[in-house]
Structure 1
Amino acid sequence: MNFLRIMELFTKTISVNLLLLFSICFSAISQQKKSLEDSSIPIIEKVYLHTDRSNYAINEDLWYKVYVTYAYSNTILDHSKVLYVELISPDSKVIARNITRLDQGLGNGDFSLSELDGFKAGTYQLRAYTNWTRNFGKDFIFTKEIKVVDLGATVPNKGVGQQPNLATKQKSFASTDKVDLQFFPEGGSLLAGVTSKIAFKSVDQYGNPIEINGNIFDENGNLLTTFSSLHNGMGIFILNELKPQNLFAEFSIKNDTTKIKKALPKVLEEGYLLGINERKGKYYISLKTNKKTFEKNPREQLTLVASTRGITYFEGSQALQSPNLTFVLPAQDFPEGITQITLYDEAMKPHSERLVYIHKEPSAKVTLSIDKTAYTPKQKVNLTVTSKTTEGQIIPASFSLVVKESNGTNKSLLNSNICSYFLMESDIKGKIFNPGNYFDVSNPKRFAQMDLLLLTQGWRDFLWKSIPEPISKEYYKAEKGIIISGKVKRTGKNNRNQYKINMALTKEGDIFMNDVDALPTGDFIFDPINFNGHASLLLNSQNQKKENAGNLELYPICQDTLAIDHIFFSFTTLDEGNLFKQQLIQKNMNYGVSSGNQLDEVVVTSKRNVEEKKPKTNSIGNADIVRVLDDRTPSFRSLLQLIPYAVPGTVQSGKSIRFSRFNDPALILMDGLQIDSDILGDIVPDDVERIEAITGPGGAVYGQQGGNGVIMIFTKPGARNRAFKKKSYTVSQLVQGFYNARKFYAPNYGDPTTLDFNKRDLRNTIFWEPYVHPNENGTAKLSYYNSEASNSINLVLEGITETGQPIVVRKSYEVNQ
């Protein structure tokens, strides 16, 4: 008997007269809705990343769009301005990290999966969080598994923790009793004398579903009913008016004769149960007890509380006048999503709990249209996105669009997406098998299957059983930008000094300057600043007499990475990564190219090469003189003698160096740190890589002393002389700002002068646009060119409207010669 038929039969037990009576009484008692503006409700962020794909080859690029929403309503939230996005390798190490700037709750970025940066074949975890989300634990941290394949490897190189295919595991597990079968009575308990609905779920050790058949017996071995998996190892059966006894199941994996026994939960003699059935868009709530409980507690005052994402949308009390009462939940008052319904007795002791998904007809109608259904290679594609309400009104929204070749991954509609994440996955702890299945509008059984999920995994792992509170006393603050902060400690005999901290931040010749007074404790913090990439930072502390003073300490600018407690495994019945690899290899063979002779998705130098070319410390200003020391440089005994040769216009004055145009000594920096000029005579010139000098007004960024000119010395790696004296009142170092997101590159076949004809265009991601924002007419138009390969092309538009409705729209077309 199928699931829908079971539900239909069970629903027919509802008493119509009692339904009408209880609906009137219950709704008249109390209905209150806690306002989202209530100051007692903490601001909680949800983070979602839309990636261009889930499977990649080594040396490809991963692209992502960030959506940060208010957890209670799923509307875009402008709270944090800094997002940490990390890739965790199969050996559980952070291999790459981006600091992504958030603007009005949105952001974007990318990763180069370069072999030079240590990427190898395996399963990686993509992880994203703000500093603020750290207050509420790991359940609010976004994670997604990414597969990376090596097209040059002849044997599949699987990531740590990946498992063999499901068929192999089922056969071996049946003989070792490693199937995990759990029973979940609706409402939480089995009650004697009451007809009960029991859901079950069977999985293997990796969480993959196991399809089973079985029988339910009483303690005397009498058969009570049979059961069978209906969807992804889950199913449901009914037990009528149970007696207080021990029940057990005897089951086997489908297509296997091995019998396994499993005890059912204990049957209670007293209590109350809560049940839910959905029929034609109405949600019927049933409250049940047995004769013993009803006679012992006549007219017991029961309270029902219904909440969605921690916010109460319905609360009411009713004296129980019959062992079985039913009413209709006012679903129109609830937002879409998982609702938790809890039944309390007169002493407000919880007796029963049930989760139900409240479905709403979408208020937004978003369409994605293309100008053709079939194309030729390298042909231009024009598409239009429209965002309007069902009544035709324009509705603002933010979307991201990916166009990609299928390459053996046509099951992507079962994978996680922005709808499944915000409306289900982020509200249930743990992984969910094929989450996209529950939001696939072409699946007519998705709501019944969703109910099975909520009866099993959802009931056990629901996140919003109460509004989450910060788990740490440290209270992680919402970051509004890059924070420069630290502490200055008093030096000398005068401990009453008040300090001012001067800051100069230089990037590509642009200088940003600011100052701030330190607190009496010595702590200081500048207003948040925004800059991309690396910049040179100089801090200087001065006392009330504007003299350089104090012992300056700079706090870490970026938050440390979170602890890694992830064990890699994938929900999969087919090795999708291996299939993806085979498809790519076959495509390369068809076009007679090696993996290194393809058009790059983005023309960019690899990260490792760029970093190797960077100097260990950048100068803070634009140097007027740069002298690189080499074999042609004359030999000098000390740096004190070398500088007048290397920097024209300087003279030696005792143990110091000054520019001839100034009377006072120049400011000397070594590897970014200020040093006393009297140790220049002890530094061996062979340890120096280059010398730079600022002779003009640019030295003013270093303060008053910089006005006499600045000489910057950069030593070679592994130089012997390290015992120079640092000025405690100065900090100079290279700091990391926001990641400078690259722009997706795709060839323009309408302009042949921009093309590289030496490489084949076999892009796997054809087009990526992280910001698709419809105009004042509710439309957005985009265009791109196909690659030269013939293939099936999938288009996926994801996003969210200003009202908090997540959107997924899919299209596909064929490219043929």
Structure 2
Amino acid sequence: MNKIKIVLLSLFSFCQVAIALAQTEIPLKDILEKTAKHYQTYPAEKLHLHFDKPYYAVGDTIWFKAYVALEQHVPSPLSKVLHVEFINSKDSLVESLKLPIKNSVAQGSLVLNYLNYKQGNYRIRAYTKWMLNQNQAYLFSKNIVVGDAINKNLNTNIAYKGTFTDKAIKINSRIQFKDDRGMPIINKKVSWEVMADFERVAKGRETTDDKGFVNIEISTSPKVGINRGELFTTVEINSITNLKASFPLKTALLEHDIQFFPEGGELIDGIPTQVAFKAIKSDGLGIHSKGVILDESGKEIAQFTSQHLGMGVFTFVPELNKKYQAKVTFADGNQKTIPLPEVKAEGMRIALKTIDDNLVLKIYANQKYVDKNLNKTFYIIAKSAGVVYYAAQSNLKSTVFTGQIAKDKFPTGILQVTLISSTGEPLSERIIF
């Protein structure tokens, strides 16, 4: 295996690197100059909001402070106005604020008045106009729970399992009720009803178990707009005290989901590939899952099982002209079949892992790609918060290349490592902490 020659570069000295390349190849100096120019021309802002407490009740005032910074964690001089939006569980905008930013800091408050707010889940989204130039993932987003002004001492958690056929909609809702001390409310009667389009479509009465859970089974006609409905519950604490809670049913019929992430971004013919995956429920939380990878003939290629919060990893060798699919079984018994990405005929990819105090890089290329690009130069750019800390170059001579860098050369945080072709085209990318 060939060893990659690692070249340490500072952001200010990379222009001194001399490289003898063919005319069709882009010098490493040019790639780094373009990278630096991009981040100087289009710096990315980051935003964080700090709140006075984690939960609120109707009638309370939310106090918050916002900090606007650039990727290098320095104050941002770009934006002067902060936009803050309050969105309800139906994705409708309830209220918005425009706040001045002074010295990269903004402060604000919002009263949860009785006219606009009620008990339920809300999302706070905040951004500057400059941040809208980036992906939506750059915007600040936080979910908050707003409790009933009277029933501040009731905490709830709900999970749905729904099925939909042409004859009926069935939803099993499992709710846990806790008091203000976090203790389960046990052996108490719970009355419930479902309202959809201003009509009551189901009702019932259950009892909490010894852990504060109650199971509510809802069955309605497919003609009912259950995704626009809401489940209302009343917990009978004693003869004079009732605690109420309501739950939107918008996500009740959403299926579990699972996503697969090949290391380096793609499946390439003949290259052993580590594939990460994450399984989530309709509420966005992880769920344990297991399954098998099958080819188009039904032959089992690999098995996988999640290790933590629905996440896991498996390895297999993809082959060209074969179509792969994952047959998944979730913890609650639901099953799903998901196609994997198509296999590319040729290419290179990067793999990273940490061993002791070093970051170990492996570059894989399949034989078809090597034959077409023999002796051509490829590059590795490693950057954090937009700053290039390392660059590497080598010539393509075999199907596997290795190299390592001491981890103390990088700042603490997320490191983005990109594999680039001789013409400046990104081939593969890996994120590591």
Q: What TM-score results when the alignment is normalised by the length of structure 2?
A: 0.64
| Cα-to-partner distance string for 1:310-356 (whole Å, 9 max, x where unaligned) | 44433343111221001124654544433332223333333222222
Distance across 1 between alignment mates of 2:319 and 2:401: 19
Cα offset for 1:215?
1.6
SS of equivalent to 2:291: strand
Mean CA deviation greater in 61-70 or 287-296? 287-296
Whole-Å separation in 2 of the counterparts to 1:112 and 1:325:
59
Tell me by how many angstroms 1:202 deviates: 2.0
Q: In structure 1, what is the Cα distance between the partners aligned to 2:267 and 2:145? A: 43
* Secondary structure in structure 2 of the residue aligned to 1:188: coil
Alignment CA distance shift 1:172-1:248 (3 Å) = farther
Closer, same or farther: CA 178–128 of 1 in aligned 2, 3 Å = closer
Change in CA separation of 1:146 and 1:262 when aligned onto 2, cut-off 3 Å:
closer
Could you say which residue in structure 2 is the equivalent of 1:111?
110
Query: Structure 1: how far apart are the matches of 2:368 and 2:34?
Result: 36
Cα distance in 2 for partners of 1:255, 1:306 equals 41
2:325 to 230, 248, 262: 248
Specify the code of the residue in structure 1 equivalent to 2:4. F
CA shift for structure 1 position 301: 1.8
Larger % of helix: which?
Answer: 1
Cα deviations across residues 113-161 of structure 1 (Å, max 9, x unaligned)? 232x53322222323334544555754432322221114369x999xxx
Please list the CA deviations of residues 719-742 of structure 1 after superposition, one character each: whole Å capped at 9, or x if unmatched: xxxxxxxxxxxxxxxxxxxxxxxx
Does 2:259 match 1:182? Answer: yes
Structure 1 position 187, deviation (Å): 1.0
Alpha-carbon shift at residue 287 of structure 1 (Å):
0.7
Partner of 2:159: 166
Deviation at 1:190, TM superposition (A): 1.8
Query: Structure 1 CA distance, aligned partners of 2:406 and 2:40?
Result: 25
Q: 1:272-671 residue pairs with structure 2 within 5 A?
A: 272-329=348-405, 331-357=407-433
Q: Matches of residues 700-711 of structure 1 in structure 2 within 5 Å?
A: none
Change (3 A) 1:287 1:121: same
**Counterpart residue type for residue 281 of structure 2:** D
Q: Does 1:47 align with 2:123?
A: no
CA contact (8 A) 2:378 2:394 kept: yes
Q: Does 1:229 align with 2:306?
A: yes
CA distance in 2, matches of 1:241, 1:89: 44
Q: Per the alignment, do residues 295 and 237 of structure 1 end up closer, same or farther by CA in structure 2, a change over 3 Å counting?
A: same
* Deviation of 1:298 (Å): 1.9
Instruction: Sort the Cα spacing of 1:322 and 1:47 in 2 relative to 1 into closer, same or farther, 3 A.
Output: same
Contact 1:78–1:103 (CA under 8 A) maintained in structure 2: no
Cα distance between partner residues in 2 of 1:198 and 1:43: 32
**2:4 corresponds to:** 22
Give the Cα–Cα distance (whole angstroms) in 2 for the partners of residues 51 and 177 of structure 1.
Answer: 31
Cα 1:142–1:23, aligned 2, differ >3 Å: closer, same or farther? same
Is the 8 Å Cα contact of residues 54 and 145 (structure 1) preserved in structure 2? Answer: no
Match of 1:373 in 2: none
Percent of residue pairs bearing the same amino acid type: 28
Are the aligned partners of 1:34 and 1:313 in contact in 2 as well (CA < 8 Å)?
A: no
In 2, distance between residues paired with 1:137 and 1:285? 28
Structure 1, unpaired ranges of 5+: 1-14, 159-163, 358-817
CA contact (8 A) 1:23 1:328 kept: no
SS in 1 for 2:4: helix
What amino acid is aligned across from residue 121 of structure 1 in structure 2? Q
Tell me if 1:152 matches 2:150: yes
Q: Distance in 1 between matches of 2:35 and 2:340?
A: 41
- Structure of greater Rg: 1
**Paired AA for residue 143 in structure 1:** S
- Deviation at residue 272 of structure 1 after TM alignment: 1.0
Q: 2: distance between equivalents of 1:139 and 1:239?
A: 31
Choose which of 216, 232, 247 in structure 1 pairs with 2:293: 216
2:53 is aligned with what amino acid? R
Alpha-carbon contact 1:196-1:238 (below 8 Å) kept: yes
Equivalent pair of 2:357/2:406 in contact (CA under 8 Å): no
Q: Does 1:198 align with 2:275?
A: yes
Q: Quick one: distance in 1 between partners of 2:287 and 2:141?
A: 25
Structure (1/2) with the larger strand percentage: 2
Contact 1:190 1:267 in 2 (8 A): yes
How far apart in 2 are the matches of 1:172 and 1:353? 41
Q: Which blocks of at least 5 consecutive residues in structure 2 are unaligned?
A: 10-16, 20-27, 164-169, 173-252
Counterpart AA for 2:256:
V
CA distance in 2 between counterparts of 1:25 and 1:129 reads: 38
Which residue of structure 1 aligns with residue 167 of structure 2?
none
Alpha carbons 2:5, 2:393 under 8 Å: kept: no
Q: Distance in 2 between matches of 1:192 and 1:39?
A: 34
Aligned-pair CA distance for 1:276: 0.9
> Cα distance 1:110–1:322, how it changes in 2: closer, same or farther (>3 A)?
same
Distance 1:280 1:42 in 2: 36
The corresponding residue for 1:239 is 316
Does the 8 Å contact 1:246/1:264 carry over to 2?
Answer: yes
Shift of the alpha carbon at 1:169? 5.2
Q: Deviations over 1:78-125 (max 9, x none)?
A: 45444344434456565555554433222333223232x533222223
> Do 2:51 and 2:63's aligned partners in 1 also have CA atoms closer than 8 Å?
yes
- Counterpart-to-counterpart distance in 2, 1:240 and 1:341: 23
1:681-696 to structure 2, matched below 5 A, reads none
Distance 1:299 1:259 in 2: 48
SS for the counterpart of 1:337 is coil
Moved more, 266-275 or 89-98: 89-98
Query: 1: CA distance between counterparts of 2:283 and 2:367?
Result: 43
Question: In the alignment, which residue of structure 2 is the partner of 1:127?
Answer: 125
Partner of 1:711: none
Letter in 2 for 1:218: D
Relative contact order: is structure 1 or structure 2 higher (C-alpha 8 Å, sep ≥ 6)?
1
Letter matched to residue 103 of structure 1: K
Do the aligned partners of 1:33 and 1:314 also contact (CA within 8 Å) in 2?
no
Structure 1 residues 91 and 235, CA gap change in structure 2 (3 angstroms): closer
- 2:336 corresponds, among 260, 277, 293, to 260
Q: What is the rounded CA distance, in whole Å, between the counterparts of 1:139 and 1:90 in structure 2? A: 19
Aligned residue type for 1:150: D
Question: What is the distance in 2 between the residues matched to 1:82 and 1:60?
Answer: 25
**Taking structure 1 as the reference length, what is the TM-score of the superposition?**
0.36
**Residues 76-91 of structure 1 mapped to structure 2, 5 A cutoff:** 76-90=75-89
Matched position secondary structure for 1:292: helix
User: In the TM superposition, what is the alpha-carbon distance from 1:24 to its structure 2 partner?
Assistant: 4.9
Distance 1:249 1:127, change over 3 A: closer
Asked whether the equivalents of residues 350 and 362 of structure 2 are also in contact (C-alpha less than 8 Å), the reply is: yes
Residue 776 (structure 1) aligns with = none
